[in-house]
Amino acid sequence: MRLCYNTLMSKVYVITGSTSGIGKALLEEYSKENTVFAGYRNENLKPEGRNIIPFYIDYTKPETIKPAIDFIKSKTDRIDTIINAAGCVVAGVIDNISLQDLKRQFDVNVFGAIELTGGLDVKKIINISSMSSFGIYPFIAPYCASKRALDILFNLWGLESGKQVISLKLGAVATPIWSKSIKENEKSLSDVSGYEKEYDYLVKNALKNETKGMPVSKIVKKVIEIDNKQKPKPSYTIGFDAKAAELFSHLPQTLINHVIENKLKSMRKD
Ligand SMILES: NC(=O)c1ccc[n+]([C@@H]2O[C@H](COP(=O)([O-])OP(=O)(O)OC[C@H]3O[C@@H](n4cnc5c(N)ncnc54)[C@H](OP(=O)(O)O)[C@@H]3O)[C@@H](O)[C@H]2O)c1
């Protein structure tokens, strides 16, 4: 059955990564009064409920993207906003990260979002980016590069096409993304010889974010506020840590590298 707009007072959303963390919280909120196409990759987590239309998509399997686009188009010819929340973190010492994992990072965080969004006729695109887009975090270089690439590609696409594109560069948020990343990167994280202390720091910090990060409710509130603006900005930096990272990233690269090198040295001493 296709959606009928004569009676439809609410909006139509597509939310990817709707089975966990930020995407899940957005789905819960938006589906109260809107129709939401909710992306999932794990059948056991398939979202259900009033106003929710689940669709299967796994960005590590690019062949699942076209059927997802066809499915959504078969149900609606109007989408007000897509929120690209699906994402993962490829972590580890760059020397130990395989090209395959590097490609997986870009498939999930960049190419998947581009192919899905490009295949749908959407008015507004909200990307859940990260302070990692400022490119200053060793041991999650693939993640930083993917978020930067996402931001650049979408921002310029918005300018060329006239589509409304909004990037939300979030600081740490309390979600399971970091423990999932430790599990998903077992191979590249298994060989950290020469980097043991940095690895300990990385894991401790990552796990701390899962409880000490901003609550997902704060992000949901922000997304709704920005989504409702008549003239939203192309980019929002959210969270004290993200704002500090943004300021830091404006320094000359030599100075940035000097500070990061000193931080790495102090980690090795501890
Ligand atoms: N948490 C943070 O500190 C933080 C900070 C800045 C930005 N972000 C960004 O926020 C977004 C949401 O992350 P989160 O923190 O809410 O993490 P999360 O709880 O792990 O949620 C990630 C979502 O993406 C889905 N996903 C992962 N790999 C996928 C794939 N191959 N294909 C399709 N979907 C996939 C996950 O599915 P499953 O449920 O099946 O795993 C889940 O629904 C991400 O883009 C992340 O980079 C997070």
For 50-95, write each residue's pLDDT tens digit: 999 999 999 999 999 999 999 999 999 999 999 999 999 998 888 8
Looking at the domain 12-269, which fold is it?
A: Rossmann fold (3.40.50)
Alpha helix ranges (H) inside 162-213: 177-184, 186-190, 196-212
Q: What is the DSSP letter of 215?
A: P
pLDDT of residue 203: 82
Please check whether residue 91 is in contact with residue 143, taking contact to mean a CB–CB distance below 8 angstroms. Answer: yes
Q: What is the pLDDT of residues 108-153, one digit of tens each?
A: 999 999 999 999 999 899 999 999 999 999 999 999 999 999 999 9
* Strand order, beta sheet including 35-40: 52-56, 35-40, 12-15, 79-84, 122-130, 164-170, 235-238
Average pLDDT of the segment spanning 8-16: 89
pLDDT band (50, 70, 90) for residue 270:
low
218 is written with which tokens?
Answer: 């704060």
Domain boundaries, the chain: 12-269
**How remote is the C-alpha of 15 from its chain's centroid?**
11
Span from the CA of 17 to the centroid of ligand 1 (angstroms): 6
pLDDT of residue 189 exceeding 60 = yes
pLDDT of residue 28 exceeding 70 = yes
pLDDT of residue 198: 80
| CA atoms of 149 and 133, how far apart (whole Å) | 8
Of the candidate ranges 84-93, 175-184, 191-200, the one whose mean pLDDT is the lowest: 191-200
pLDDT of residue 98 exceeding 90 = yes
Of the candidate ranges 18-27, 86-95, 215-224, the one whose mean pLDDT is the lowest: 86-95
The whole-chain average pLDDT of the chain stands at 93
pLDDT of residue 33 exceeding 90 = yes
pLDDT of residue 6: 47
The binding-site residues of ligand 1, defined as CB within 6 angstroms of any ligand atom, are 17, 19-23, 41-42, 45, 57-60, 85-88, 108, 128, 130, 170, 172-173, 175-177, 180, 209, 213
pLDDT of residue 200: 83
Ligand 1 mutation pick, 88, 154, 169, 208, max ligand atoms within 8 A of CB: 88
